[in-house]
Amino acid sequence: MVSKRLSRLEGHRRKFMAVIDGTPECQSAVHYAGRRAKNSNGGLVLVYVIPEGDFQQWLGVEEIMRAEAREEAEATVAKSAQVVRETIGIEPEVVIREGSAVEEINAVIEEDRDIAILVLAASSAKEGPGPLVSSVVGKAAAFPIPVTVLPDTLTNEELDALA
């Protein structure tokens, strides 16, 4: 069970969260979430989760691999944050975690009680909509706040009209 959301209380504001995972469709989620945040005088949280289990090497190698993964995460999120600043005109919050994507996203939601909506974009690839979207529609519906799922076929102009 998720803690009570505080976004409607005085001194708080509703935040939209988008997950950065390097897929083309995640940029649609970021754009839509940013536009919704701006239109509602809210905030935007960008979350990147470094997958767990990629660092099972000797200690020295593990530390190097972890540092490289962290650098890649920071660069990827910085690029998305810059696009948000330039195209939407708001300053997003950035969160980088390591672990299971679903568990870490839930932890961020629990820690920041102003986060009220998770925005994801579904891939139209033959492999399926993506693991996060699958977890929402599957038996493990894992997120304790409303989730907006966007088709990856919408243009930024169409997303703006919807936001």
CATH number for the domain harbouring residue 139 = 3.40.50.620
Instruction: Determine the structural domain holding residue 127 and report its residue range.
Output: 15-162
Share of the chain above pLDDT 70, in %: 82
**Weakest-pLDDT range from 25-29, 65-69, 102-106, 131-135:** 131-135
Is the residue at 67 inside a domain? yes
Q: In this structure, is residue 87 part of a structural domain?
A: yes
In-domain check, residue 6: no
Average pLDDT, the chain: 84
pLDDT tier at 125, thresholds 50, 70, 90: low
Q: Which structure tokens are listed for 112?
A: 């920041």
Does 1 reside within a domain? no
User: Looking at the chain, how many residues does it have?
Assistant: 163
pLDDT grade, residue 147 (50/70/90)?
Answer: confident
pLDDT of amino acid 32: 96
Find the Cα–Cα–Cα–Cα dihedral 99, 100, 103, 104, rounded to 10°: 40
Distance in angstroms (rounded) separating the CA atoms of residues 37 and 16: 6
Q: In what order do the strands lie in the sheet with 115-122?
A: 93-99, 43-51, 15-20, 115-122, 147-151
| Tens-place pLDDT, residues 37-86 | 999 999 999 999 998 765 566 667 777 888 888 999 999 999 999 999 99
Could you tell me if residue 73 is inside a domain? yes
Which two structure tokens, joined as six digits, stand for 77? 């999120």
pLDDT tens-digit map of 98-110: 998 888 999 999 9
Range among 7-11, 25-29, 62-66 with highest mean pLDDT value? 25-29
Question: Quick count: other Cβ atoms within 10 Å of Cβ 65?
Answer: 14
Q: Is residue 2 part of a domain?
A: no
Query: Considering the domain boundaries, does residue 130 fall inside one?
Result: yes
What domain count does the chain have?
1
User: What pLDDT does 119 receive?
Assistant: 93
Can you tell me whether residue 52 is helix, strand or coil? coil
Give the three-state DSSP class for 15: strand
